[in-house]
Amino acid sequence: MKLRANLAIGGGLTLLSLFVGVFGPWLAHTHPIMDANLMNAELPPSGEFWFGTDQQGRDIFSRVMYGAQISLTVGIGSQLINTAIGTTLGVTAGYWGGWWDDFVNGLTNLMLAIPSLIFALAIMAILGPGLTSLMIALGLTNWSYTCRISRAQALAIKSQGYVQAARVLGYGDMRIMFTQILPNTLGPIIVIATLGMGGSILAEAALSFLGLGVRPPSPSWGSMLSDARETITTAPWLSLFPGLAIFLTVLGLNLLGDGLRDVLDPQSRSRR
């Protein structure tokens, strides 16, 4: 019952976010950057401006809708990179063992020793602000857990009879890894990727908030909150809606991830 609630609410919220992400530009009836009318600056929520307007008179609702695109792009993009790096390193390390395994282990330990936001910050400092830099930075920081899990799976499966049989039959390493090992790691990895997306979105928001992610006037939810700080007493609604958007999106992903975990990876903790 709890499982279904997780999947239902989580899936629902996530789908809503995706929907907004894809169809945002159509939902928003103004352009998030160009339609700035100082006459409309800092208006509270009303019939015309559902979420109110910001200092430049831009409609917050539209900006939030557009912001979804940014957050989701970063979230999905960085997770893809994460998963790619983590699975590749993990499966090969587990399967081939030897010095490569030692190297990957050392690298993973190194990555785990640096707090991830700090590392992402450092990379953003090098690459400069922007959407692609964000995806790369976040993609490079969070692969360690995926790596550990896929390595463990590779180790477990490697010694199974059917893998050894495949090798005797002359299957190449690549083929074995792709057809035998990878499918078995999918379950836990999907769970990690879903939960990781939530983390990436939070990280993107934090970095944009600091000014190191997506820069204004791009309607990233994080940078919107940063702008909103200046007018917190006069226009508090500016601080409310972007944050709420982040919260609901991440909540949806977390619930979905929890639900998926119960289904796909029952050995993990945190179940009922």
Partner 1 sequence: MLGFVIRRVLQMVPMLAAIALLIFVLFSVIPGSFATGQQDEGLGLDMAVVARMRAELGLDDPLYVRFGAYVKQLATLDLGLSFRSRQPVADMIAARLWPSLMLTIAAMGFAIVVGVPLGFIAALRPGSLVDLGLMVIAVSGLSLPKFWLGILLMYLFALTLGWFPSFGYGSGGLYHLTLPALALGVSPMALLARTTRAAVLDIMNADFVRTARSKGMNEYRVVVWHVLRNALVLVLTTIGLQFGSLLGQGVVVEKLFAWPGVGSLLVDSVFQRDIPAVQGCILVITLFFLVINTSVDIAYKLIDPRIRYT
* Residue 116 within binding range of partner 1, rule CB under 8 A: yes
Question: How far is Cα 86 from Cα 56, in angstroms, rounded to an integer?
Answer: 43
The smaller minimum CB distance to partner 1, of residues 36 and 255, is found at 255
Candidate segments 38-46, 48-56, 130-138, 251-259, binder of partner 1 by CB under 8 A: 251-259
Give the footprint of partner 1 on residues 2-61 (CB under 8 A): 2
Question: Total residues contacting partner 1 (rule CB under 8 A)?
Answer: 46
Q: Is 272 helix (H, G, I), strand (E, B) or coil?
A: coil
Residue among 12, 106, 172, 183 that touches partner 1 (CB under 8 A): 106
**Alpha-helical runs (H) found in 128-231:** 131-141, 144-158, 161-168, 173-176, 182-210, 221-228
**215: which DSSP letter?**
P
Type of residue at 102 = D
CB neighbour burial string for 118-139, b if at least 16 within 10 angstroms, e if fewer: ebbbebbeeeebebebbbbbbb
Spatial CB neighbours of 76, under 8 Å, sequence gap ≥ 6? 197
* Residue 211 within binding range of partner 1, rule CB under 8 A: yes
Candidate segments 19-27, 54-62, 72-80, 209-217, binder of partner 1 by CB under 8 A: 209-217
Question: How far is Cα 259 from Cα 219, in angstroms, rounded to an integer?
Answer: 31
What tokens appear for 145 in the block?
A: 């857990």
* Residue 233 within binding range of partner 1, rule CB under 8 A: yes
Candidate segments 20-28, 130-138, 169-177, 246-254, binder of partner 1 by CB under 8 A: 246-254
Candidate segments 16-24, 28-36, 155-163, 220-228, binder of partner 1 by CB under 8 A: 220-228
Q: Which residues bind partner 1 (CB under 8 A)?
A: 2, 106, 109-110, 113-118, 121-126, 128, 198, 202, 205-206, 209-212, 222, 225, 228-229, 232-233, 236, 239, 243, 246-247, 250-251, 253-255, 258, 269-272
